[in-house]
């Protein structure tokens, strides 16, 4: 009997219901059958449900745990889009999924006027197993430590936690993030030493630990990173020498910034200037002494910054070997030579800062040939002579020529007859 009815009513599963339905008169049975259909027509949105939620339930739960650890203090309440009723893959601000599996692959939140997060990073972030990108930037009210649990994120390629208020040490097991390409933790209050094991991250391309309070030696294992292009350790409290392993290691190195640490480099390491493919070097504020090195031919340097050191001697004429140079910052040293007119041969030069040195002689007139110049500073030297006529030089603010011996001509006072 029951099986007869089942031909019409497919929803009939529980035996008792089935019997009850079967005993009804035919008209009532028909009504019962049509009723859901009718409701379906009246409320298509609720019932049709052809798209069940894509978002992985486990990942959704982890995200909600993260959300409960931070409060969003803005009127817009950007995290209010994070509601279980909505699909996290499509409707949660900052969240992206793998569209096949519904696993969360990317979480990007940038604090701004519209989003002010406050609180701590939940260990639940470690339970997003498909996460490739974790970016939480600019949240000065996010404090606490980097959860150790992040070591579980073996798919992670980008861990970017810049400009927050994080403290504590780097989790020692970060090296388990074996897919990591970009580790950027700049401008927090992180401290302690860099774990040696960081040197085992074979895929790491960019390491930025700048503007924190890291200390201790720079581990020599860092030199083992075969893919590292960008190393920024500036504005920390690192001590000791630069490991000698750096000279032979780091084959992919493109940019290095060690500025403002308590390192004892003594002089500019000569390998830094002979290294192929190195383009940006910043050694400002490292108490370097000695002279500027010889600049080798075919240099790939695009930016050289040795500001705020104790460098003496001269600016070598063969600075013109730096044919790719765009930025040269020699400010706040004790360089006591003329400005070589060969500098005019560095055709792409855009920024030239030689302020606060002991330079003598004129600003070479032929620097007018540098058509890319955008910024210069000659302040506080012992320069003397006519400022080059060219529009670029004469239209600078007088401040960039101030406190010299006897510079003259626009924008300063006219030169007297004695000065050519």
* Residues at the interface with ligand NAG (CB under 6 A): 73, 98, 100-101, 116, 118, 141, 143-144, 158, 160, 182, 184, 189, 191, 205-206, 213, 215, 230, 234, 237, 239, 251-252, 259, 262, 276-277, 282, 284, 287, 294, 296-298, 305, 307, 316-318, 327, 329, 351, 353
Q: How far is the CB of 234 from ligand NAG (least distance, A)?
A: 5
Closer residue to ligand NAG in complex, CB, 62/327: 327
Closer residue to ligand NAG in complex, CB, 32/314: 314
Q: How far is the CB of 111 from ligand NAG (least distance, A)?
A: 10
Q: How far is the CB of 26 from ligand NAG (least distance, A)?
A: 51
Q: How far is the CB of 334 from ligand NAG (least distance, A)?
A: 13
Closer residue to ligand NAG in complex, CB, 98/149: 98
Residue with the two structure tokens 């493109």: 254
* Count of Cβ atoms closer than 10 Å to residue 113 Cβ: 8
SS3 for 356-414, per residue? CCCCEECCCHHHHHCCCCCEEECCCCEEEEECCCCHHHHCCCHHHHCCCCEEECCCCCC
Closer residue to ligand NAG in complex, CB, 29/54: 54
Closer residue to ligand NAG in complex, CB, 36/251: 251
Q: How far is the CB of 85 from ligand NAG (least distance, A)?
A: 25
Q: Is the distance from CB of 385 to CB of 408 less than 8 angstroms?
A: yes
Q: How far is the CB of 2 from ligand NAG (least distance, A)?
A: 43
Closer residue to ligand NAG in complex, CB, 116/152: 116
Q: Is the distance from CB of 78 to CB of 71 less than 8 angstroms?
A: no
Q: How far is the CB of 333 from ligand NAG (least distance, A)?
A: 12
Closer residue to ligand NAG in complex, CB, 6/203: 203
Closer residue to ligand NAG in complex, CB, 217/392: 217
Q: How far is the CB of 392 from ligand NAG (least distance, A)?
A: 17
């Amino acid at each position: 009997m029951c099986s007869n009815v089942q031909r019409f009513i497919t929803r009939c599963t529980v035996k008792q219901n089935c019997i009850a339905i079967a005993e009804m008169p035919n008209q009532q049975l028909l009504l019962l059958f049509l009723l859901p259909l009718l409701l379906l027509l009246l409320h298509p949105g609720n019932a049709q449900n052809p798209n069940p939620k894509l978002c992985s339930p486990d990942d959704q739960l982890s995200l909600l745990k993260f959300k409960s650890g931070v409060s969003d203090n803005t009127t817009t309440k950007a995290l209010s889009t994070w509601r279980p009723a909505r699909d996290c893959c499509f409707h949660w601000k900052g969240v992206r999924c793998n569209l096949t599996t519904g696993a969360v692959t990317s979480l990007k939140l940038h604090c701004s006027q519209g989003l002010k997060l406050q609180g701590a990073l939940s260990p639940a972030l470690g339970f997003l197993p498909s996460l490739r990108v974790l970016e939480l930037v600019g949240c000065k009210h996010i404090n606490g430590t980097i959860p150790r649990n992040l070591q579980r994120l073996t798919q992670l390629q980008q861990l970017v936690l810049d400009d927050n208020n994080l403290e504590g040490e780097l989790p020692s097991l970060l090296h388990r993030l074996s897919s990591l390409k970009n580790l950027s933790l700049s401008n927090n209050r992180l401290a302690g030493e860099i774990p040696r094991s960081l040197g085992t991250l074979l895929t790491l391309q960019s390491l930025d630990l700048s503007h924190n309070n890291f200390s201790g030696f720079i581990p020599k294992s860092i030199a083992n990173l075969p893919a590292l292009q960008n190393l920024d350790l500036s504005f920390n409290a690192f001590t000791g020498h630069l490991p000698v392993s750096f000279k032979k290691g780091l084959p992919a190195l493109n940019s290095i910034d060690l500025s403002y640490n308590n390192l004892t480099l003594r002089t500019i390491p000569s390998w830094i200037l002979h290294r192929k493919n190195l383009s940006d070097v910043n050694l400002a504020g490292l108490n370097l002494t000695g002279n500027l090195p010889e600049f080798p031919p075919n240099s790939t340097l695009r930016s050289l910054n040795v500001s705020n050191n104790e460098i003496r001697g001269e600016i070598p004429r063969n600075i013109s070997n730096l044919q790719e140079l765009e930025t040269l910052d020699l400010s706040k040293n004790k360089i006591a030579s003329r400005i070589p007119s060969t500098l005019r041969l560095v055709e792409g030069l855009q920024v030239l800062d030689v302020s606060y040195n002991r330079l003598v002689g004129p600003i070479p007139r032929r620097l007018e040939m540098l058509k890319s110049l955008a910024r210069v500073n000659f302040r506080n030297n012992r320069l003397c002579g006519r400022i080059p006529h060219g529009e670029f030089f004469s239209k600078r603010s007088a401040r960039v020529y101030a406190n010299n011996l006897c510079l003259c001509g626009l924008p300063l006072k006219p030169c007297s007859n004695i000065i050519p």
